[in-house]
Amino acid sequence: EVQLVESGGGLVQPGGSLRLSCAASGFTFSSYVMSWVRQGPGKGLEWVSSISDSGGNTYYADSVRGRFTISRDNSKNTLHLQMNSLRAEDTAKYYCAKWRWGSGYSWGQGTLVTVSS
Site residues, another protein (CB under 8 A): 35, 44-47, 50, 59-62, 95, 99, 102-110
* Least distance (Å) between residue 94 CB and another protein: 11
* Least distance (Å) between residue 12 CB and another protein: 22
**Cβ–Cβ under 8 Å, residues 71 and 82:** yes
Measure the CA dihedral 19/22/70/95, to 10°: -90
Q: Which is nearer to another protein, 49 or 115 (CB)?
A: 49
* Least distance (Å) between residue 100 CB and another protein: 9
Q: From 20, 33, 9, 19, select the one nearest 106 (Cα to Cα).
A: 33
